[in-house]
A and B are shown apart, each in its own frame.
Chain A
Amino acid sequence: MALVFTADQDQFRDSIQRFLSDQMPTSRVRQLMATDHGLDNQLWRQTSTELALTGIHIPEHLGGAGFGPVELGIALEEMGRALFCGPYLSSAVLSAYALLICADADQQERWLGDVASGERRCSLAVTESAGLWQNDDIQTKATGGGTASSLLNGRKRFVIDGQSADLILVAARADDGIALYMIDGDTNGLTVTALQTMDPTRKMADIELNDAVATKLTHAPDHLLDTLLNVACIALANEMIGGCQRLLDSAVNYTQLRYQFGRSIASFQAIKHRLADLLLDVELSRSAAYQAAQTLADCSDLRTLDEDQRRHLTEHASLAKAAVCETYLQTALETIQLHGGIGFTWENDTHLWFKRAKSSEVLFGTPAEHRERMMTAIESGNRSQENAA
């Protein structure tokens, strides 16, 4: 288990940190979050080509850098710290993993290279009425002939960066089960409606599909949505932990600068103890996020997970999601409180992370749903141990 980063990984983190503190100060976040797409094309190009962040986890023969979930986790953590605005989670992470798992060689050549290079931006549309990604929730229908073209009908909700996507991957149901379908962002029959949300740093859209022409991705392994949800949760957990640390740093800094009653308020035990509690929560959650990334890294092929691997992946992914999103929100709330009145102003940056924490809390399922999902995975593990014994 990689519980400690190598010197190369530390260096990689430093370079992203330098880049983002240069290019994504909160002044820039505030500009971008006020736009429709929350995206700076020039910065996206730099991110994807100069830093090659969009392809770090993609194998080299498919146009990526050939690293894995641990390095991806580092990138996501730094993006969460900076509140990077752009379709990194939606395109480079979720869609790229979906293509790695479901696309055949031709399809990968057709799309994955562009997604890995950031050339085209792709969104993944799964959610309909429920937070968790479950087969029962997929009512969107795929009909029509062969693999070349299908027709999609249905409605998808909370599609991350749906409004700026060149491509959209849609989970839909056909007679032979659930699979992913690729549609062009400008295809007929696709209506994208940007959602007004309280977290302007993460853009989301609803999409409607009326006989939208789509290409079915060839592979639809068992438990596909489970695997995708696990990847999504692990990615989000690592992104969130960067935000947690940023909030904690700002609380630690501010309480030392703020003088009341003739002393820095950080010298009061009432404040110190709360900060110590926060640090504990953040470090425990960090361990959960890192462990989950490592568990994903230990899965050599996401298409053919055995039962044991899938159970571990589900347990650790849901554990990390439930743990980190609650810590993130708690850290944000405490950071506002520790700033006092200034923390509730628009001018103070804390609310930017508070809102990201809130949206991350409910994205991909609530903490309670993930605790239940984790419990189910643990129980199935115990049952199979009993059966073996």
Chain B
Amino acid sequence: MNQTTTLHAEVTQWLDEHWDPNMDLLNWRSLVADSGWGAPSWPSDYYGKDMSPMEASIVEQAFADYGAVGAAQSGVRMLAALTLLAHGSHDQKQKYLRGILTGEDQWCQLFSEPGSGSDLAGATTRADLRGDEWIINGQKVWNTSAHHAQYGLLLARTDWDAPKHQGLTYFVINMEQPGVEVRQLAQMNGHASFNEVFMTDAVVSRDDLVGEPGGGWKCAMTTLANERRSFDRARDIGARKGRQGKIFRDLEEEFAIANEPYTWYPQRAGRVDLILQRAVATGAIDDPAQRQDIARLHIMAESAKWTGERAKAAAKAGKPQGPEGSLGKLAASNVARLAARVHTAISGNDALLTGANSPMDGVIAEILVSTPAISIAGGTDEIQKNIIAERVMGLPKEPRVDDGPFRDVRRNTSGPTTKA
């Protein structure tokens, strides 16, 4: 407790000495990054202070209590940082981590391909070494924010004779080069949150290979393991909106751009929070059959919420994770699907309306055309069920037919690189 107070006071004193809401955001964040307070759990050699996650959360709290802006957190940047910290070279950490914290550089993830979604390790984007450069050819898809990213985290195949997981290598690619073309991908709900990225003889310097050649899968797993946390953080920033000073105007602008792809995400989750008010507004609340459906949804959503709380409480108490910790994503899919059905039943014809006089300014219709995404994005329900069955319940794996040299593995016949 004493330690907490001391650390909190130390941060507060630093803020007393340096914080000025009329600075511009980049200058302020440069100060924060160089002080080590922007990422205190990172090593002191790389913009951190070697602190435990516990101490880091105290620092974060001190910034929040003070009302000061911390290091940039939004989007894919933290995934990049954590992957580089775990697997990157000294030079890579020197080169990239500061721009991540100051917010100067945006990052994106280049993993999924048209031919490899659930089977991520089946990637066929190729990287060929030519002199001191890797030449990249292939296509990536579902790349959030790639259209304003300076750097990409790229998973590409460097060895076609190795088994598929062992032939992949992880790179940092400069997105601002002639060989990289980014196209926004229009979705069925009218938004365009993701991109397709086409790489044609794009160039990556030898120094930007992360980890070992053939060690890309391990690095990619590090990135994915941290994926969930980054989205939680992106939301935190919103809590500081509405304060006065240039720094906050800059922040809001950054936030608007960073979160533009996500405005439909609440609708994707089904908007259970709107159900009762809609049922009252439409009179559905007086229909016994509708009440049963609304009740079923309420039960599922509450039970899912409590299950998440159980998982958190167990982790906090230092207990080994039980099954409750692996079920959130699948539960969220079920809740969203049921919510879309119930919203439709409650609104009837009006659920179709998207223009003027539509229910809740088109939000109801947006729920209906957005919920199909939740059971696909970030790992399909089917993959989630495999993971639950195999890792949580200990059921045997499906027999594999994709071992041996990747060159010989059957794969999609569409896409630019069917066979090496």
Give residues in A with beta carbon < 8 Å to B. Answer: 1, 3-4, 252, 255-256, 263-264, 266-269, 271-273, 275-277, 279-280, 283-288, 290-291, 319, 322-323, 368, 371-372, 374-375, 378-379, 382
In the complex, the answer to whether B292 meets A283 with C-beta atoms within 8 Å is: no
Interface window among B8-16, B132-140, B386-394:
B386-394
Shortest A334–chain B CB gap in Å is 14
* B382, CB-defined interface residue at 8 Å: yes
Which A-chain residue is minimally distant from B303 (CB atoms)? Answer: A284
In the complex, the answer to whether B299 meets A275 with C-beta atoms within 8 Å is: no
Give Cα A267 to B302, complex, Å: 32
* Contact digits for B354-389, partner A, Cβ 8 Å, 1 yes 0 no: 000000000000000000000000000010111011
> Known contacts A252-B395, A280-B334, A283-B324; is A288 also within 8 Å of B303 by CB?
yes
Shortest B167–chain A CB gap in Å is 26
In the complex, the answer to whether B298 meets A3 with C-beta atoms within 8 Å is: no
In the complex, the answer to whether B276 meets A287 with C-beta atoms within 8 Å is: no
Residues of A within 8 A of B285 (CB): 379
Residues of A within 8 A of B309 (CB): 1, 3, 287
In the complex, the answer to whether A371 meets B295 with C-beta atoms within 8 Å is: yes
Partner of B292, one of A280, A323, A368: A368
Which A-chain residue is minimally distant from B324 (CB atoms)? Answer: A283
* B186, CB-defined interface residue at 8 Å: no
Which A-chain residue is minimally distant from B398 (CB atoms)? Answer: A267
- The residue in B327, B330, B395, B399 that gathers the most chain A C-beta atoms within 10 A of its C-beta is B395
* B53, CB-defined interface residue at 8 Å: no
Q: Number of residue pairs across A and B with beta carbons under 8 Å?
A: 124
Residues of A within 8 A of B319 (CB): 4
Q: Is the interface of A mostly helix, strand, loop or mixed?
A: helix
Which residues 298-343 in B have Cβ within 8 Å of A in the complex? 298-300, 302-304, 306-307, 309-310, 312-314, 316-317, 319, 323-324, 327, 330-331, 334
* B397, CB-defined interface residue at 8 Å: yes
Residues of A within 8 A of B388 (CB): 276, 279-280
Residues of A within 8 A of B271 (CB): none
Q: Is the interface of B mostly helix, strand, loop or mixed?
A: helix
Residues of A within 8 A of B296 (CB): 371
In the complex, the answer to whether B392 meets A3 with C-beta atoms within 8 Å is: no
> Known contacts A280-B331, A371-B296, A372-B288; is A272 also within 8 Å of B385 by CB?
yes
Shortest B298–chain A CB gap in Å is 7
* B396, CB-defined interface residue at 8 Å: yes
* B191, CB-defined interface residue at 8 Å: no
In the complex, the answer to whether A279 meets B392 with C-beta atoms within 8 Å is: yes
* B291, CB-defined interface residue at 8 Å: yes
Shortest B417–chain A CB gap in Å is 28
Which A-chain residue is minimally distant from B294 (CB atoms)? Answer: A375
In the complex, the answer to whether B303 meets A276 with C-beta atoms within 8 Å is: no
Residues of B within 8 A of A280 (CB): 327, 330-331, 334, 388
In the complex, the answer to whether A276 meets B389 with C-beta atoms within 8 Å is: yes
Give Cα A188 to B88, complex, Å: 86
Given A280-B334, A287-B306, A291-B306, 4 extra CB contacts under 8 A: A266-B389, A271-B395, A287-B303, A291-B302
In the complex, the answer to whether B299 meets A283 with C-beta atoms within 8 Å is: no
In the complex, the answer to whether A287 meets B385 with C-beta atoms within 8 Å is: no
Residues of B within 8 A of A379 (CB): 285
Give Cα A378 to B291, complex, Å: 11
Shortest A13–chain B CB gap in Å is 13
Give Cα A102 to B200, complex, Å: 81
Shortest B183–chain A CB gap in Å is 34
Give Cα A349 to B332, complex, Å: 34
Shortest B281–chain A CB gap in Å is 13
Residues of B within 8 A of A279 (CB): 323, 327, 388, 392-393
Residues of A within 8 A of B312 (CB): 3
Give Cα A344 to B108, complex, Å: 54
> Known contacts A264-B396, A272-B386; is A288 also within 8 Å of B302 by CB?
yes
Give Cα A252 to B307, complex, Å: 21
In the complex, the answer to whether B302 meets A319 with C-beta atoms within 8 Å is: yes
Shortest B366–chain A CB gap in Å is 25
Give Cα A378 to B300, complex, Å: 15
Shortest A286–chain B CB gap in Å is 8
Give Cα A291 to B307, complex, Å: 10
Partner of B327, one of A4, A263, A283: A283
Residues of B within 8 A of A284 (CB): 300, 303-304, 307, 327, 331
Residues of B within 8 A of A3 (CB): 306, 309-310, 312-314
Which residues 394-413 in B have Cβ within 8 Å of A in the complex? 394-399
A-B CB contact pairs (8 Å), 29 listed: A3-B310, A4-B313, A263-B399, A266-B395, A266-B396, A268-B398, A275-B389, A276-B330, A276-B388, A277-B385, A279-B392, A280-B330, A280-B331, A280-B388, A283-B323, A283-B327, A284-B304, A287-B307, A287-B310, A288-B299, A288-B302, A319-B302, A371-B292, A371-B295, A371-B299, A372-B291, A372-B292, A378-B276, A379-B285
Shortest A370–chain B CB gap in Å is 9
Give Cα A286 to B306, complex, Å: 9
Give Cα A287 to B322, complex, Å: 13
Give Cα A283 to B326, complex, Å: 10
Give Cα A371 to B342, complex, Å: 15
**Which 7 A-B residue pairs are closest in the complex by CB-CB distance?**
A371-B295, A272-B389, A287-B306, A284-B303, A276-B385, A3-B313, A4-B313
